[in-house]
Structure 1
Amino acid sequence: MEQQFTTTSPDETIAKGKEFVSSLEAGSIVCLQGALGAGKTHFVKGMAEGLGIESNEVSSPTFTLINEYDGDKSLFHFDCYRMESPREALEIGAEEYFYGDGVTVIEWAERIESLIPPEAIWIFIEAPDKNTRKFVIRKRDS
C-alpha cells in the first residue's frame, strides 16, 4: 500500500512527521530517501515531536552516524550519507537498533539497503521546487 502527500513549508513537513510517527510501534524502521535539502531532517524533527522529544534537540547525525533521543519511545536517528559500505553500519551496531525497543529512522538508507529488514517503511522525498516537498510512503518491494 502506498501513501502520498505534499508539504509546502518546513513547519508543514514537521507536522506531517509528527502525524506519521503516531502510527508506529517500537521496533519500526523508517528509511528516508531524497536529495540533500529534500526535507529528511525536518521530517525526523516532526517524528521526534510525536514521540515527546523536543525537535530543537534533533540534528542530522552526518558526522556521528547515529543520534539517540529519549522520549515516550526512543528515537534512533541514523545518517548513512558518509558510509562507504554496509559493513560500517554493522560496526556501529546498526542491527541491534533495528530490533530494539525504539523507532529507528535512517537517512540515506539506500547506502545500507542490504541490511534493511523487509518490513521497513520507505519514504521517498522529492523537492519539485524550493518550497514544495512530495512524500511517497511504501514498503520497499511495492
Structure 2
Amino acid sequence: MSTPTLSRTLLSGSPEETHRLGLRLGQLLQPGDFVGLVGDLGAGKTHLVRGVAEGAGVSRSEVASPTFAIVYPYRGRLPLYHADLYRLADYDELYATGFLDLVGGDGAVLVEWLDRIPEAAPREFLRITLRDAGEESRELVAEAWGARPAELLEAWLPANR
C-alpha cells in the first residue's frame, strides 16, 4: 500500500469520547466516502460506528452489528452502508455479496475489519486503526489516501486540535 496523503493520531479516554469522535465524523460524511476500520476485538470499533451512524442522521435504535448480514444499510441524511468483513474469507467471497456495487455510490461506506480484505477499499479512502491504550483509553490512527479523504480527515481532526 502506498503512503497516506495525511495522517493523524489521537487518544480517546473513554467509550463515550470514541462515540463523540464518531458522531463528528458522521456529520462530515458525504456520498462516496469510504471509511475502513481496523482493530482487535474490543478495540472500540462499535462505539465509533454507533457515533458515525448517529452523526449521519441514523436513529440510534437502528444501529446493529452486521456480522451476520455482512452489509447493513442505514437511512439518515445520506445512505450509510455498514459492512463487517470479519467472517469473509477473501475478496471473491466479498464480491459475491454485491458489496462492491455500494462503493462510490449514493451513500457513504463504513467497513469494519478492513484489514481482513484490504483490497475491498477503493483507491481513495480513510482508514482508522483503533488500539487499546490501557483501561478504557484507545489510540486512533487515522490515515487518508487521496484528496477527498484528506479533506475529510482535516475537517474531522484538524492539525491544531
Larger radius of gyration: 2
The match for 1:13 is 18
Give how far 1:25 is off. Answer: 1.5
Letter of the 1:71 counterpart: G
Can you give the 5+ residue segments of structure 2 that lack an aligned partner in the other structure?
1-5, 147-161
Partner of residue 102, structure 1: 107
Instruction: Check whether the contact 1:28–1:104 (CA below 8 A) recurs between aligned residues.
Output: yes
Match of 1:118 among 114, 120, 123: 123
Offset, 1:61? 0.9
Stretch deviating more after TM superposition (5-14 or 32-41) = 5-14
1:132 equivalent to 2:141? Answer no
- Measured after TM superposition, the shift of residue 120 of structure 1 is 1.0
Q: What stretches of structure 1 move > 2 A for 4+ residues in a row?
A: 21-24
**24-33 vs 109-118, which moves further:** 109-118
CA contact (8 A) 1:45 1:58 kept: yes
Q: Which is further off, 16-25 or 79-88?
A: 16-25
The number of residues matched between the two structures is 141
Counterpart Cα distance in 2 of 1:4 and 1:13: 13
Cα RMSD after superposing both structures? 1.4
Q: TM-score, normalised by structure 1?
A: 0.93
TM normalised by structure 2 equals 0.82
Shift of 1:139: 2.5
Choose from 91, 105, 113 the match for 1:86.
91
Q: Deviations over 1:26-84 (max 9, x none)?
A: 11000000000111111011111111112232122111111110000111000000101
Q: Identify unmatched segments of 5+ residues in structure 1.
A: none
Contact 1:28–1:103 (CA under 8 A) maintained in structure 2: yes
* Distance change >3 Å, CA 13–CA 71, structure 1 → 2: same
Q: Specify the SS of the correspondent of 2:128.
A: strand
Q: Secondary structure at the residue paired with 1:98? A: coil
